[in-house]
Structure 1
C-alpha cells in the first residue's frame, strides 16, 4: 500500500512538473511580432535645439496588446548609425537593436535624444527628421522623429593649457582674496549683438570699461546655467528693442532667457544668473524681456545721482527665482516697467539710492515656494556679517503704478533714522491689508499723509487678465482704471503695448481693456 502511495505521489509530482515546464515554455518562448504594436504617439517632436547642444530626453512607449510574449526582430533608426538621434530601448543604448521582447499586455519605454550640427545645412534653422522602424516588410511600423535645429553664435570662456577656464574678478572677500566667476571679456568685434542669429552664452560675458554693448531690436540672448552679463565700471548697455505686433512672438523685442528651448522650460525660474551692472556702469533698455533667471537685473552702487543714467522703459522681467530688479545704492528711472512673479521681491531697493518709477506694474503671485516678503521693498541700510551699512534714500517715487500680489502687504518700508528715507506714492493701487493694525503706529505707513501717499487705492481689485502666466493687462473693471494722474500720463503718453493714455490715465503699465473670451 505504501509503495502504491509513493508511486501515486511520484506520478502527481512528475505530472505537475510537466505542466509547469509546459506553462513556462509557453510564457518564455516568444512569438514573432506581427505588426500589431501600438505607440504612445505616432510622431515625437523633440522641439527646438541649438546646433551641437544636446536635447532633453523624450519618451515613446511601445505596447504589446496581444496575449503572447512577442519578439520584434528589428528596432532601429532609419538612418542607422549615421542618424543624429540616439535611442535607449528598454535599458539598451544604441541606434539599431535586434529581438526586442515585450511581455503580453505589457509595454516598453524608448528614450530619445539628439545632437545636431547646423553646419550640415545652409539655413539658420532647419528641420531634422528620422524615424524609428519596427520590424520590416509587411510587418513594418514606424514612428517619426522631428527636431527644429537652430544655428547660433556661441560665446564662452577659453581654457588655458591646463584646461582651466577663464575667470573674471568681481571683487575681494573679507580676507582680501579675489572673488571670481567663470567668464570672459567681449572683444570689440563682439559688442554688437544683432538679430541675425541667437546668441548662446556660457559663463559671464564681461563688457570692459569704456565699452558699450549694443543689442539690436529682435535679438535673442540665451544663457546657460550660472551665466549672464557683467558690466564693468564705465561700460554701458544699449538694448534698443521696438514695439512688436505679435504678443506671442515679440518679434521686435530683445529677449534674455535660458538656453533650453523646449516648452517645459519656458517658465521655469532660476535657469541662469543675472545682468550685473557694477558701480559706474550705465544702461538704456527699451522693449526688453528678461525671464527665468536668478536676479533679473542687479544694479550695484551706481551712485545716487540726481540725474540717473540708468533707464528702463517698456521692459518686462518675469520668473526671477530671487529678485526681479535689485538696486544697491543705485539710480534708476523706470517707465512702463512690468515685473512679475519673483521668489523674494519684484523690486528690492536697498542701501539708499535714487529711483523714479512711472506707470509701472509690480505683481507678485509667486507659487513655486513659500514667500513672506513684499513685492516692493525699500531699505536705507544693508546688514552684513561684519557691519551695518547705511545710506541715504534720496528719492523713491512711484507714480501711476500698481503694486499687488498674493501677500497681505505688498510694500515693505524699512529705515534706520540716522539716514534720510525719502519716498512717495501717488495715484497708485497697492495691496496692503492690516487687519490687526500692526502698522498703525508706523509713520511710513500713514496712508492719510498726502505728502507721501497721494490719491491712493489699497487692496482694490486690479483685474489682471491672468497672473499665473504673467499676463498683467488690466480689465475694464480694474480699480486702476482712471486712477492715474493725467499730467503724469502726458510724460508717458503710450502704454507698454502702444495704447494712448491721452484720453484716459490708467495706473500701471497697461491701459484697461475689455477682455474677450
Structure 2
C-alpha cells in the first residue's frame, strides 16, 4: 500500500499532459465572429504637438471580455500627410502588428505616439484625424486618433549674436538652451509664447526686452493674448502646474538694462536668475513690471542652488505690480550684495509640499558648488506688498546675519508673516505702517487660496474684508495694478491687485 499513493500521483500527472481537452479555457482560441474587443478609450487624443517633435506615448487598453482567447489578426494605424505615427505592441514597434493573441478575460496594452509634420500656414493649431484599426475573426473595429499640430520656431542650442526679435506669429520652442551674447539684444513681441524643453535656459549676457511696447488702454484679464508667456514644452494637462520642468531665465554678469513687462513665467527651476558670483560692478539689473511667476522649484538647477522665482547673486531687481506664487523653495532669494525693490507685489506661497524654506531670504554670502563666495551686504526695499505663505511653524522672512545690514532693510505699508521680525531689535517691522500676522494663516484674505477654498482655482485678488484694502501708500508713477486697473490715488490697496468694489 505504501507504493500506491505515489503511483496515483504519477498517473494523475500523465493524464494532465496526455489527455485532450485539459487546456485552460482562457487559452482556447475562439473563431466566433461575435467575439469582439472592448477598449479603454473611444478616442486617443494628443494635446497640441509642435511640428517635427514627437509626443509622449498614449496608452490604450484592449480588453477581451470573452471566456476564450481571441487572435487579433491585424492592428494597424496608417500615417497620412501631416502626421507620422508609431505603435508599440508586446515590444514590437511598427505601424502594423499581426496575429496578436489575447487570453480570455485578459487585456493588451497598445502604446501610440505621433509626430506632426511641418505644414504651410500660420500658428493656429490644426487637427489630424486617423483610425487605429483592429481586425478580429472577420470583425473590423476602430478607435479614433486625434492629433492637434502647431507650427513653431525652433531654437536648438542657439547663440544670438546680433539684435533679434522673436515674433508672436508662431510659438518658440527652446532646446538645449539659447544664449543672447553680450553685444546683442533680444526683443520678444507682445503675445509671444516660449516653450522650453527640460533643462533648457534662456541665458542673457546682453539685454532682454520682453513685451517692451505693449500699453493696454484699459483693464486686462489674466488670459490676455498680449501677455508673453514662458513655460515648459509638455502640453499635456497633467503638466499644467508642475514645477521644475525647464531651467528659467538667467542673466549673467555682463547683462544690463533688462525689462520684462506683462509677462508670465511658470513651471521652471528658476524664474529670473541673476548669476554674478564674482560681484562684478555694475550689477546686472532686471526690471519686472506686471508679471506673474508661479510653480518654481529645483533641487540644483545646474549650480547646486535651490530654486527661487527671483534669485540674485550680486544682482539687482526692481519689481512692480507682480504676483509670485507657489514656489517650492524661495520666492525671493538675495545674496552677496543683491538689491531688491518690491513695489505693489504679492508673494503668496501656498504650494503644499511641507516647505521649510522662507518665502524671502537675504544673506551676505553664498556657497556655490562647494566654494564660499566673498560676502557683501544685500539690500531690500519693500513698499505696499504682501509677503505671505503657509510655511509650517516658521517665518516667511529670514535675514541671515541681518543685524549687520539692518540699515539696508526698509519695509513699509506691507503685510508680513513673521514672528521673528515682529518688533524685536533693529530688525523689528512693527512700524512704518506694516501689518504683522493679521489673524491666522488664512489672511490676508485672498478671493481664493488653497487654505480658504480647497480644490478651487487660485485667485489672489483681494476679498472684500481683506486687511490689505486701502492700507497702501501712494507711490509716484505707479497708478495701475497688475491687471491695469486704476489704483486709488489716495489710499491704494496693498499687493499686486487693486480691489474691485462690487
Q: Report matched runs for 1:282-431 at 5 Å.
A: 282-301=257-276, 310-321=286-297, 322-368=307-353, 370-383=354-367, 385-387=370-372, 389-393=374-378, 395-407=379-391, 408-415=394-401, 421-431=407-417
CA contact 1:352–1:421 (8 Å) conserved in 2: no
Report SS of the residue matched to 2:248. Answer: strand
1:443 aligns with 2:425: yes
CA drift of 1:31 comes to 1.1
Of residues 437, 447, 457 in structure 1, which corresponds to 2:436? 457
Write the distance in 2 (CA, Å) between the matches of 1:87 and 1:68. 26
* 1:401–1:508 CA contact under 8 A, matched in 2: yes
Deviations 1:90-128 (A, max 9, x none): 433211122222222221111111112124x54533212
Residue in 1 that maps onto 2:304: none
1:131 aligns with 2:116: no
**Residues 242-281 of structure 1 aligned to structure 2 (within 5 Å):** 247=221, 249-281=223-255
Cα deviation for residue 379 of structure 1 reads 2.3
CA-to-aligned-CA distance 1:301-331 (integer Å, 9 cap, x gap): 487879x963110011111111100112322
Cα distance between partner residues in 2 of 1:320 and 1:298: 12
Contact 2:203 2:252 in 1 (8 A): yes
TM-score in terms of structure 1 length: 0.81
SS in 1 for 2:87: strand
Aligned ranges 1:464-503 → 2 under 5 Å: 464-467=446-449, 471-485=459-473, 487-488=474-475, 491-502=477-488
What is the CA-CA distance between 1:513 and the residue it aligns to?
Answer: 4.9
Over the residues paired in the alignment, what is the CA RMSD in angstroms?
Answer: 3.4
Q: Distance in 1 between matches of 2:81 and 2:174?
A: 31
For residues 102 and 314 of structure 1, do their structure 2 counterparts lie closer, same or farther at Cα, with a shift above 3 Å needed? same
TM-score by length of 2: 0.83
Contact 2:122 2:170 in 1 (8 A): no
Superimposed CA distance per residue, residues 120-152 of structure 1 (whole angstroms, 9 cap, x where no aligned partner):
x54533212211111179722110001111111
Deviation digits for residues 273-300 of structure 1, max 9, x if unmatched? 1211122422111100111111110123
Q: Determine the C-alpha separation between the residues in 1 that align with 2:56 and 2:150.
A: 15
The answer as to whether partners of 1:80 and 1:96 remain within 8 angstroms in 2 is: no
Q: Structure 2 CA distance, aligned partners of 1:156 and 1:18?
A: 62
Secondary structure of 2:467's counterpart equals: coil
Aligned to 2:160: 186
Cα displacement (A) at 1:30: 1.0
Aligned equivalents of 1:82 and 1:401: distance in 2? Answer: 50
Residues 309/349 of structure 1: CA separation in 2 closer, same or farther (3 Å cut): closer
- The counterpart of 1:235, out of the listed 207, 212, 217, is 207
